[in-house]
Amino acid sequence: MLKHRNSFGFRVRHWLRLWLSIGVEPLKGMDREKRKRSVEPGDLFLIALCVVSAAACAALRGWEGFSNALVFAVTLILQIAPIMLISMLMAAYVQVLLPHDQVSKWLGRESGMRGLLIATAAGAIIPGGPWVSFPLVLALAIAGADVGALVAFLSAWAVIPISRLLVWEVPFLGGEFVMLRMIVSLPIPILVGLLARQIPLTIDPPARDIAMVDDE
């Protein structure tokens, strides 16, 4: 029996059941109405733009141009879909693991300047591209981070990313230039975070309606 429990197949099935329980069980208690997503005006605009673009491509380039564009689009989807799936799974499980009360304490509106400094530091040291940063921001938003902290996080990730500075900027531009740019750019995430907190904007990420953790 112990040998069976230590087998590779048993461990795989165990972790699959664990992941599914984290992602699926909380959805069972949701109202059916909450699961329904209404089509928003932005979605309708994108659909209309896609139809118009397809019609223009067929009219101007013929069916051959239309089919080539379609093949390119399908190829791009197949390349991006696995990365998107992994990113969304990461966001889902990260927001489950994050303690919501602690996120609100350290990155919520009441965190003040401390929250902006933490968000700036986190955005600067987080490696990876948008497939990493944006799902993480989504998870933080669901967990209770306020708009100022999220803006500071993304601004630091875009302006002063440590990994990109070390890998690209220092070898190409030199240490003195990079140091100057860091000094000049360092206040930007904090300033835009403070500005964002002055704007009466409520964060309402699309995934909030199906958040997997109940704070109560």
Write down the pTM of the prediction.
Answer: 0.63
Task: Please give, one letter per residue, the 3-state secondary structure of 76-137.
Answer: HHHHHHHHHHHHHHHHHHHHHHCCHHHHHHHHCHHHHHHHHHHHHHHHHHCCCCHHHHHHHH
Q: What is the pLDDT of residues 3-40, one digit of tens each?
A: 454 455 555 555 455 444 444 444 444 445 444 555 56
Confidence of residue 1 (pLDDT cuts 50, 70, 90): very low
CB-based contact 103:109 (threshold 8 Å): no
CB-based contact 154:137 (threshold 8 Å): yes
C-alpha to C-alpha distances, 158 to 87, 88, 109, 146, nearest whole angstrom: 18, 20, 22, 19
Q: Which long-range contacts (CB under 8 A, 24 or more apart) does 42-46 make?
A: none
For helices 130-143 and 147-159, the axis angle rounded to 10 degrees is 170
pLDDT score at 8: 52
pLDDT reading at 214 higher than 50: no
Mean pLDDT of 51-69: 87
CB-based contact 197:146 (threshold 8 Å): yes
pLDDT score at 212: 45
Most confident region among 79-93, 131-145, 164-178 by mean pLDDT: 164-178
C-alpha to C-alpha distances, 109 to 67, 156, 205, nearest whole angstrom: 50, 18, 17
Residue 38 has what DSSP assignment? P
pLDDT score at 102: 84
* Angstrom distance (rounded) from CA 83 to CA 89: 10
CB-based contact 203:13 (threshold 8 Å): no
Q: What is the pLDDT of residues 108-137, one digit of tens each?
A: 888 899 999 999 999 999 887 787 788 888
The region, left, alpha or beta by phi > 0 then psi within -120 to 50, assigned to residue 128 is left
Helix (H, G, I), strand (E, B), or coil: what is residue 202?
coil
* Angstrom distance (rounded) from CA 147 to CA 120: 13
End-to-end Cα separation, the chain, in angstroms: 39
pLDDT score at 118: 94
